[in-house]
Structure 1
Amino acid sequence: MSTGKRLFYYAAIFKKTILLGLLMLSIAVAAELTGPFLAKKMIDTHILGIELPWYETNKRDDSAMYQGKWYTRQDHLAEGERNGAQVRVLQVGRAYYFIDQPIVADGKREFRNGTLTISHDSGKDVYPAQMLTSQEVFGFFRPETRGLLMLAGLYMGLLAMASLFHYGQKFMLQKSANQVIRKLRVDVFAHIQRLPIPYFDKLPAGKVVARVTNDTEAVRELFSKVLDQFFSSCIYLVGIFIALFLLDVKLALVCLAILPIMVVWVILYRKYAAVYNHVIRRRLSDINAMINESIQGMAIIQAFRREKETKREFDELNEEIFTYQKKMQFFNSVASFNLVHFLRNLAFILFIWYVGGASEGIGSLFTLGVLYAFVDYLNRLFQPITQIVNQLSLLEQARVAAERVFELIDEEGIPVDPGKIPCYQGNVRFENVTFAYQADRYVLRQVSFEAWPGETVALVGHTGSGKSSIINLLFRFYDISDGAILIDGKNVQDMTKQQVRQHMGIVLQDPFLFTGTILSNVTLSDPSISREKAEKALRDVGAEQLLRTLPKGFDEPVMEKGSTLSAGQRQLISFARALAFDPAILVLDEATASIDTETEGIIQEALEVLKKGRTTFIIAHRLSTIKNADQILVLDRGTIVERGKHDDLMEKRGKYFQMYQLQQGERSSNGAVLSAP
């Protein structure tokens, strides 16, 4: 499905709000565009209408008195009422003249020595005429005063109504835009929760954040500004062209030629602008990723004095964005305004040519009211064209941003399974498990072992030996390449990932704490874990001893990643979190690696509480902490080279023995390994 269709799908969800907004917009536009027609009537009927034939009548509300006689204009009389003498009032220059007889034909007028001469194609006609005073002229205009005031009042009322409906349509379209983006952001964020862990190995966190924030904000601009302007401009154009055709078909057809020029321009603009916008959006994501990485690693940057180098890298990215934005701005400024300005001038040149060259006089072609209305509509015509052209850059930015958002949504996610399964007994079996993060680069080969319920299994080995990969496979963060993993005799591949993890818990070497409080980090806002249960978990792991110095105790605020707490405090909170969720299978990933010696005693006691009654997997570098493990698996280059209890492995004097002795620092002067104590 194309990006446009998918955006239309999101808009269709809130179609009632959008359609109501468009209806209000249509009413507002219709009210505004009625104005020139009212002005035309005011000019042609109530102002220039004074030159229509007048008939001598009795006194009426719509009659004018001149030299003791009453006269009524032709358009106010029925056919049977036009029995009196016909007279005319004609304008020459700024003066008005009274002629007490009909005229044969109209044309070029000239007054001299009490006579008015009218020149036309058939010749000249001369009529005796009397110049009217201002008061006498007003007498002939007086019957039209009421009509003028009514039309002026109607005009003002229409403008007020247009303003009211413009407010309504703006509110509705902005509301629908916010609703669309709210749903889009919810969908994107919800989809991120379903994305598999390998996806985040390929895409930096900053780039993901950019798509959820910057790109969706650009899409919001599309709905709140661009589509608003496009809809209103299109409705304006339709209304203006209808009005132009009602006024003069030939001139309207000439103006209609503007539309294909606009269509060609939009196609060409989108073709070339998309290239720039793609680069700009990508570089914005790169900047977000770099900023995120720099903030996370600020301590390292400052410790190794890399501030200048980091700033230089940022400046390079920023300069590239600036360069492309400058190109885009140049492209917009050259094309958009100049195009509209050119079309505007062209339209007026054609209009002047048509009016001035194709006619001998305005009156012979169309009335002054039509001329005024047409010029008014012609001016209005280029306002929506300007708005459309000016929004093209935002349209392309939003389209590119939407592509990036939908690209993220299109990534295959993991369906969320809310179903519950019975708690595990805790039997875990790996059968000839082989795994590679990348094709043919295996990190585990034919790994087989079994952990019985309640057992503690320790995984040891040098960096890269495959310890963490076993845990990743157990949690189904990644799926195996070959073999099988069974929990209580059931293959994990036959279970959803949520079911596999439902009765598992994990404690990381560097525990992750969320912004909130200590208690909220224990419960993770799970309604099934009460405050009492969370506090008991904290006390059971010995956290009370380390946290009692905090001003608010267990309600102490926690900043991002727990930056205000010590490593030991963070670790105990993560222990309490695992204990509160009461998992059947527990994983401790280097849980004591970054703990000081003084805190280690408390942590070890917490570990014993945590492991009780659970199948526990421990990844440990400190071999002294796993002496009591029921089973120790020694890994080397993705295979299990030794297994057994601590004493048994020490007696074998193999790889585990060497690692243990190396950690104890007991080596002879010639490098020979000493015997175990």
Structure 2
Amino acid sequence: MNVGKRLFQYALTAKITFIAAIITLCLGVAAELGGPFIAKTMIDDHMLGIEKPFFETDSPASVGAVAYEDKYFKRGDRFAENEIKGQEVRILQKGKNFYFINQAVDEATGKRAVVNGQMTITNGSVQNIYPVKALSVDQIFDFYKPEIPGIIKLVGVYLLLLLVTIFTEFGKTYWLQSGANRVIQKLRTDVYAHIQRLPVNFFDNLPAGKVVSRITNDTEAVKDLFVAVLSNFSTGIVYISAIYVALFLLDVRLGLVCLFIVPILIVWIILYRKFATRFNTIIRSRLSEINAIINESIQGMSIIRVFRRQQQTNDEFEALNQDYMKYQNKMLNLNSWTSHNLVNVLRNFSFAVLLAYFGYGSITGSNAVSLGVLYAFVDVLGRLFQPITGMVNQLAALDSSMVSAGRVFELMDEPGEDVTDGQMPRYKGNVAFNDVSFAYKKDYVLKNISFEAKQGQTVALVGHTGSGKSSIINLLFRFYDPQKGSITIDGQEVTDIPRQWLRHHMGIVLQDPYLFTGTVASNVNLENEQITRAQIEKALCDVGAERILAHLPQGYDEPVVEKGSTLSAGQRQLISFARALAFDPAILILDEATANIDTETESLIQSALEVLKKGRTTFIIAHRLSTIRSADQILVLHRGEIVERGSHDELMEIGGRYFQLYQLQQGNTLATPSTSAVKQVASVNHSQPLPSGVL
């Protein structure tokens, strides 16, 4: 699983937005780096331009001409092609004073000294002496006047570039974050959709809190990757590339000297991630475990308090929290000892190299550069460490995001069930199990199960806990598929029917029905637009819920909180029955649907059952055997096998396991069945012991 490649594929979903962000980023970087070049031009061409050669001119009215001692002079690079240049003169600075030299100067660079009206310029072993005149403040200003329009123009260009930088910074930030939000929306939607396709056994092995953590915390960490990390790294890479281009444009030799920073930065990122990935993997795992224990504690808060397990639960949470903090501190130490120190070391080292380079050049005279180039180079080199600082500061977020993305993609790589669009016509509901054997892991929990249930019949499944009742229902719903045998509906094998189509015509009522946040009505139709309001009300009325729910202030629009905790068990069960009736299933499963309700509500539900079962194939898992006396067929399960089958009267007559179970529940001794009946049971199942406990 290549995490980076898959993240790039998700980034392509918002490629236009990201491309717009990169374009504005490049424009902004170009505009920002224009500042040092403007400063270089201002220093070299205008502020220090006064030291360039001047020539006497016969055109006093020409642009750039300066009057001095009844003569007019003009900078040599400002003469037109047809203008005649007169005598060359120079203006050189020593300290705070400027001096006029009425002749050409062979070499202006070097150490300068003025004594008795003469300037000595020493360059290595060569000395040149020139007679000079000191200039007054007004005279100096006269020579600077031609530079003022150029300086004002450069300041205007700088302000324009600053304005461009402001707008491009806004565009870059907006488009990067907008694209990141779109990518994370797509990723989170895909993760949630994939969870809907995961087989049921996946959730049997992974706590709900860990799944929630991957959908929320981990995807949020991936969002940081696109919003903060991508922003800083893309900005940094573009910025650093542009800065090196600027360095080479200023001086190729200086650019080559500073190239050492790039490999150091790359090696550092690789080494950092080697350690940080290990810490972040544990951190994300502990965070998932913390979410899992919080979720479990909230769900089971009543049990925790009843059995006084607050301290033990708190200790378990504290142990996880402590471990989480330990590895967070390790990450903190790694960042504290490295990130900022690295930038400071690189900055100081690079400036030391620069100083050494110029220091050596000043001795040999081989590396002389203009003051403007030096200023611009130091400015640009200083700017180089701004993106490096941003990138290094985001290394922790980068690694955390990559680890989180890996966890998200690991979840998405779990094999899911195929989703088939459309639906099949409503089948009749003739169900047949043919020699079915099934195991969740190694040991078979169902062994050679065979029976038939015809349309309109009611089949009851009876047996002790672990006998295989729920496993039969799981196979019928195709939450699992059997290892041996086959299951057919209307003669068609269920493995040949897409799961969504198969379940479309099935309904279930659980012992502890689950209600979703919403209203009573929305819990009946589950927001299915095909089920109208009239059908909702009819379903509730048919199951007898009208009287039970009549006292609710808002009636069928009464808000329902999570799991329907504000409603009684009987109210929740009736809503669940109405839900099953509204969806009009061909096959109905009642999983101990009357186990947790009072006698009065049970009588209502028994009446509702007759409405529900009409024309449908009904499977009832029942512990209270009195509720299944009218079943067409009762299957008695023991250790994954059907040991008895028949109607209530038939099973009572043969006096076998069902008879004993019924007798235990009634709490009295019934008439002993005939000896022949007992012999018949023995001959049918001589190896099965009679029950020794409750169901």
Name the TM-score, length of structure 1 as normaliser.
0.97
Q: Is 2:55 the counterpart of 1:55?
A: yes
CA distance in structure 1 between the aligned counterparts of 2:65 and 2:289, rounded to whole angstroms: 80
- Of 489, 509, 512, which aligns to 1:510? 512
Letter in 1 for 2:307: F
Q: Deviations along 1:603-638, whole A, 9 cap, x unmatched?
A: 111111111111111011111111111111111111
CA distance in structure 1 between the aligned counterparts of 2:365 and 2:543, rounded to whole angstroms: 97
- Structure 1, unaligned runs of 5 or more: 668-672
CA distance in structure 2 between the aligned counterparts of 1:528 and 1:377, rounded to whole angstroms: 67
Q: Deviations along 1:224-249, whole A, 9 cap, x unmatched?
A: 11011111100011110011111111
Q: Is 2:131 the counterpart of 1:136?
A: no
Q: Is 2:413 the counterpart of 1:410?
A: yes
The answer as to whether partners of 1:21 and 1:168 remain within 8 angstroms in 2 is yes
Helix, strand or coil: the match of 1:457?
strand
The answer as to whether partners of 2:358 and 2:367 remain within 8 angstroms in 1 is no
- Of 662, 665, 669, which aligns to 2:664? 662
Q: Give the aligned partner of residue 544 of structure 1.
A: 546
Q: Deviations along 1:67-107, whole A, 9 cap, x unmatched?
A: 33221111111465343222211100011111222223223
Q: When the two structures are aligned, how many residues end up with a matched partner?
A: 670
Q: Give the aligned partner of residue 280 of structure 2.
A: 277
Q: Give the aligned partner of residue 353 of structure 1.
A: 356
Q: Deviations along 1:429-483, whole A, 9 cap, x unmatched?
A: 11111111112x1111111111111011111111111111111111111111111
Letter in 2 for 1:372: Y
The answer as to whether partners of 1:426 and 1:584 remain within 8 angstroms in 2 is yes
**How far does residue 12 in structure 1 lie from its aligned partner after superposition?**
1.3
Q: Give the aligned partner of residue 678 of structure 2.
A: none
- Of 556, 559, 570, which aligns to 1:557? 559
CA distance in structure 1 between the aligned counterparts of 2:82 and 2:352, rounded to whole angstroms: 47
CA distance in structure 2 between the aligned counterparts of 1:9 and 1:536, rounded to whole angstroms: 50
Which runs of structure 2 are paired with 1:52-451 in the superposition (5 Å)? 52-57=52-57, 58-59=59-60, 60-78=62-80, 80-106=82-108, 107-121=110-124, 123-360=126-363, 365-439=368-442, 441-451=443-453
Which runs of structure 2 are paired with 1:599-614 in the superposition (5 Å)? 599-614=601-616
Letter in 1 for 2:349: L
Helix, strand or coil: the match of 1:359?
helix
Letter in 1 for 2:129: V
The answer as to whether partners of 2:430 and 2:453 remain within 8 angstroms in 1 is yes
**How far does residue 569 in structure 1 lie from its aligned partner after superposition?**
0.5
**How far does residue 118 in structure 1 lie from its aligned partner after superposition?**
2.1
Q: Deviations along 1:473-506, whole A, 9 cap, x unmatched?
A: 1111111111111111111111111122121100
**How far does residue 598 in structure 1 lie from its aligned partner after superposition?**
2.2
Q: What is the root-mean-square deviation in Å for CA atoms of aligned residues?
A: 1.4
Letter in 2 for 1:35: G
CA distance in structure 1 between the aligned counterparts of 2:94 and 2:41, rounded to whole angstroms: 22
Helix, strand or coil: the match of 1:339?
helix
Moved more, 354-363 or 264-273: 354-363
Identical-pair percentage:
59
CA distance in structure 1 between the aligned counterparts of 2:126 and 2:246, rounded to whole angstroms: 37
- Of 572, 596, 599, which aligns to 1:597? 599
Helix, strand or coil: the match of 2:362?
coil
Q: Deviations along 1:115-146, whole A, 9 cap, x unmatched?
A: 22222346433333221122211111110100
The answer as to whether partners of 2:94 and 2:112 remain within 8 angstroms in 1 is yes
The answer as to whether partners of 2:188 and 2:215 remain within 8 angstroms in 1 is yes
Letter in 2 for 1:315: E
Structure 1 pair 295/364, CA: closer, same or farther in 2 (3 Å)? closer
Q: Is 2:43 the counterpart of 1:40?
A: no
Helix, strand or coil: the match of 2:411?
helix
Q: Deviations along 1:137-169, whole A, 9 cap, x unmatched?
A: 111111010000100110111011011011101
Letter in 1 for 2:282: V
The answer as to whether partners of 1:74 and 1:82 remain within 8 angstroms in 2 is no
Letter in 1 for 2:385: F
**How far does residue 534 in structure 1 lie from its aligned partner after superposition?**
0.7
Q: Deviations along 1:533-580, whole A, 9 cap, x unmatched?
A: 111101110111111100000000110010111000000000000000
- Structure 2, unaligned runs of 5 or more: 674-695
Helix, strand or coil: the match of 1:460?
strand
Helix, strand or coil: the match of 2:392?
helix
CA distance in structure 1 between the aligned counterparts of 2:249 and 2:377, rounded to whole angstroms: 10
Letter in 1 for 2:36: P
CA distance in structure 2 between the aligned counterparts of 1:170 and 1:237, rounded to whole angstroms: 18
Q: Is 2:473 the counterpart of 1:471?
A: yes
Helix, strand or coil: the match of 1:365?
coil
